[in-house]
Structure 1
């Protein structure tokens, strides 16, 4: 997962709450950092996404493959 995919996934899953969750919610699974702090610290976006999903009880079926853009069709 790339940073851009992480940001899209957070936006799609949490909508208007996304900015608050990434800057205010402390995630123990990434060293007691917020998602924003974890990104800045170089933690893999996939690990941050997994921690955020676990902390906010996102169902498993909505955790994988989100944030990806549909392939361009020529």
Structure 2
């Protein structure tokens, strides 16, 4: 997954404005208590981050 696809999915589920806010403020235990922004900056693959977001938002399996 490319980072652009990751952000498209984030915006699809959270809205364009809130996706970036959520990514910068919500710590995910699956990412070592880092935010999405921190994980991306640390080089965590977008697919790994998406799986953590998917679980945190309790999205349907088809969105995984």
Q: Is the TM value for this pair above 0.5?
A: yes
Q: CA deviation at 1:17?
A: 2.3
Measure the CA separation in 2 of the matches of 1:21 and 1:49.
13
**5+ residue gaps in structure 1?**
64-74
Q: Structure 1, residues 15-47: CA drift from partner, whole Å, max 9, x if none?
A: 142122111110111111000110000001000
Aligned to 1:24: 25
Work out the CA distance in 2 between the residues paired with 1:54 and 1:3.
18
- Tell me how far 1:6 sits from its aligned partner: 0.6
How many residue pairs are counted as aligned between the two chains? Answer: 63
Q: Is the helix fraction higher in 1 or 2?
A: 2
Aligned residue number for residue 7 of structure 2? 7
Paired residue secondary structure (2:47): helix
Greater C-alpha Rg: 1
Q: Which has the higher strand share?
A: 1
Give every structure 1 segment of 4 or more consecutive aligned residues whose post-TM-superposition deviation is greater than 4 Å: none
